[in-house]
Each structure stands twice: as C-alpha cells, then as structure tokens.
Homo-oligomer: A and B are copies of this chain.
C-alpha cells in the first residue's frame, strides 16, 4: 500500500537524538491515514503485513515464535517480560551497561523478581568470564541483556553472551532489551536462541513513538501461557497472543484498540527496510556509524565506549572536549539546526552528549551535514 498522499515534510530542526529519530516523508504521511476500523479488512491487511514482517526483522523462521505490537512505550516491554515470563521470587541476572539496564532491573524488582546485577565499567561491557562465573554460582530463571544502552552507547555482544548462557545454563531464558538496537544492530532471534526481545517504534525502526514491539520464543510463550496466576492485565501475553495470531493470519480480534495510524506507519517503514534488505541496511548504518566515529576522532573528540568493538552503530556518546562548555556546544548545534541529546549516565551527567545516527537520517544526508556543523561549532567555541 502506498502512503495515503504525497507529503514532503517542511524544513525543520533535525532531531539527531537516539530516538525519536527523523522519519521519512512516507512514514509521516502514513500517520495521517484516514480513520479505519480496527477490524476493517484494510487494517487487518496492514497489521498482518506488520506481524509477518516482524519475523524477518528478528530473523526468525520458527513458526512457534510470535511478534507483538502494542500501544505503549518501549518501557512497557519490560513490564511484559517481568510479568509474563518471570514468576515472582525467581532469580534474574541483569547485565548492566548503563541507566537503562538499571531501570530494567528496577522494573523486574517491582514485580517480585530476585535480581542480581553485574555492572560493567563505564564505557565497557560485562566481561564474558564474569557472566560465566555468575551463571555457574547461581541458578537463574532469566538473564537480561541491554543490547545497546542508550545512556552510554555501549553495545553488548548478544551472540557471545547467549553462547555462554547456552553452555553453562541452557534453561535460563535470554531477554534482550533491543530498544536502541532492533533495525540497526544484527539480531538473530532463532540462531542465537533468544527468548524475548523488546523494542520501541521511535528508534531504528523509524516510526513515531507510541508502539511497544516485542518478540517471544516458544519456551518464553509456553511459560507465559501456562502461568497459573495472572499478574498483569494490559501487558498480558495470555490476552495478546490470540489477538496477534488472529491478525497475523488475516482476521480481526479485540482486546484493546490498536493504534491504527502508527501501525500503518510501521508498515510503511518495514516496507522501506525490506526494499533495501535488512542486512544491506545494517551494513549501510554501520558504515555511516564508522564514518561518524572517524570524524569524531579527527576532531580530537573522545567517545564514551572504551573501544570500537563495544561502540554501538545507532548512536554515539561523545565527551565534551576540554575547554568547551557543554551547554554552549549544544546551543550552537541547536542554532545550526540540530537537536542532539545530553548525557544521562548518573556519574557523567554534563560531561558528554549523544548523537543518534540511525534510520532515515543516515539516508537523507543529515549525519553528513551534522558532522560539518559539529566541526564548525567546535571551531567557533574555541576561538
């Protein structure tokens, strides 16, 4: 289905934060599609396309896995994991690479999980041997990995961690926070043996905020669907699973009204992603990420991740250089037409900023023009 009309968004200050990102004209046009009943044939077709293609996005061919799209924020995905595939009292191991990993741990605790946290050094990931040791010491019902912690721009090696988990404690469910990774970092749901990956619409998937998107394995689902005591209503996989299966198979169903317009925009964005091809897209975004990091180095700036291996591809956290006042730099970039984000790691607030470079902005040349603006801003501030 094409976008409902030709739309070219007006010139505006570019949002180069790690989400919400800039959106393509067609995605935004799809947000303005006229009203459709949530059980109309048109919308059922849209939602079916979305659910079928989520399988491709998560690289799953296992018919027993299931994708979900709910109205909500990425945060809601934490609640879904905590209330459906973890029972109160069960032990969960959280690998922390920053603010968002810690918040996930907090959410798990609210719902009664017994949480242990291994915290990485700032700018680094949790070493594999530490994870192995801990899994050998203690039996965990689940482990959580924040694929990319948006507060530090550190990327964890989900494949390697999953391998360790499978080796030492194969029954431990692997839960991945993919909020800042799905659509820009590679994720092999089946091949790596993942059980639950959650994300949000406004990051690399390239759709306005408002959708909580997640993907569950057969064994995660089996645990959720066989729970004796329901511990959640809106976030219940028991309630949503038949709904998603119905839409994916081409019929309507109702639990709560889906966000028709935003899901239509998600369809448009998935069409754009698969028109390029997922692997090609990941490569394009990685290349732009490398270029951006090279430019940062060229400008004598230092990134927060300890080395390129642990540096994410969808955003980069950069220390303010000595002699430059952080707020002044952000203001100058703002004047030149770019919004970037301040740093939010508790120990480093005010010391760094974060630039999102994923999705549409990579293709529209926004990052290239931003690099120039950054260079000029630094020059002007050092004069």
Contact = CB atoms under 8 A, between A and B. Distances in A.
A314 to B, nearest CB: 15
A192 interface: no
A10 interface: yes
Best-surrounded residue of A70, A74, A255, A339 (most CB of chain B within 10 A): A339
A73 B34 contact: no
A209 B10 contact: no
A65 interface: no
A256 B24 CA distance: 23
Nearest to A75: B256
Interface stretch (A12-20, A125-133, A276-284): A12-20
A22 B35 CA distance: 5
Given A37-B20, A40-B339, A71-B72, A257 B32 contact: no
A246 to B, nearest CB: 15
Interface string A76-120: 101100100000000000000000000000110011000000000
User: How many monomers of this protein are in the complex?
Assistant: 2
B257 A202 contact: yes
B31 A31 contact: yes
A70 B209 CA distance: 11
A21 interface: yes
Contact of A20 (B15, B31, B38): B38
Interface in A306-345: 339, 341
A211 B211 CA distance: 11
A247 to B, nearest CB: 14
Contacts of A10: 4-5, 34
A34 B20 contact: no
Contacts of A38: 20, 209
A107 B233 contact: yes
A302 interface: no
Contact of A37 (B17, B23, B200): B17
A259 B38 CA distance: 19
Given A15-B40, A209-B71, A256-B73, A7 B32 contact: yes
Interface in A23-50: 23, 28-29, 31-38, 40
Nearest to A82: B233
Contact of A75 (B82, B231, B233, B341): B233
Contacts of A158: none
A237 interface: no
Nearest to A17: B37
A15 B74 CA distance: 30
Closest 6 CB pairs of A and B: A210-B259, A73-B256, A75-B256, A31-B31, A15-B35, A107-B233
Given A15-B35, A72-B76, A209-B261, 17 more contacts: A4-B10, A17-B37, A20-B37, A20-B38, A31-B32, A40-B339, A70-B73, A71-B73, A71-B210, A71-B212, A74-B256, A75-B233, A79-B234, A82-B233, A107-B234, A110-B232, A209-B257
